[in-house]
Amino acid sequence: MAVLKRVKGSTLMETMVATVLIVIIFMMASLVMEATFSTHRSGNMEPISEKLHQLEYKYIKGGLTLPYFEDWEDWDIEIVRYHERGSPMISLIAKNRKTQKSRKTYLLQNNESH
């Protein structure tokens, strides 16, 4: 029978240190990923833009009376009529109650409509 070369094994303390380092690295990686995804979610303005487009369409088709106010998810939506430099304008404003972000859209109102 051949005599096998003895391989030096690691001690319990070395194994514990390596395990703790691996756990810390994975924990840091998961925190970075979570922060990245939460920032992306809170910065996503697509749903409120869609909602404002729907309300704009309703107004143009005569299905909305002004002034209009709505609470939608975390957003306060306000649609009002005003005059700027003699031209009638429609203002669609959405403000997020949590992040204080806002989305604004303006429409030039035709004299013969509404």
- Has residue 107 got a pLDDT over 80? yes
Q: H or E stretch including 56? A: helix 46-60
Per-residue pLDDT averaged across 85-107, rounded? 85
Tokens 């030096």 sit on residue: 8
Dihedral of alpha carbons 75, 76, 77, 82, sign: negative
pLDDT digits (tens, 9 = 90+) for 21-78: 999 999 999 999 988 887 666 667 788 888 888 888 888 888 888 888 888 888 888 9
**Which amino acid makes up residue 99?**
T
Domain ranges of the chain: 12-42, 46-108
What are the two backbone dihedrals, phi and then psi, of residue 8, each rounded to the nearest 5 degrees?
-70, 130
Structure tokens at 4: 């096998």
Predicted pLDDT at 52: 87
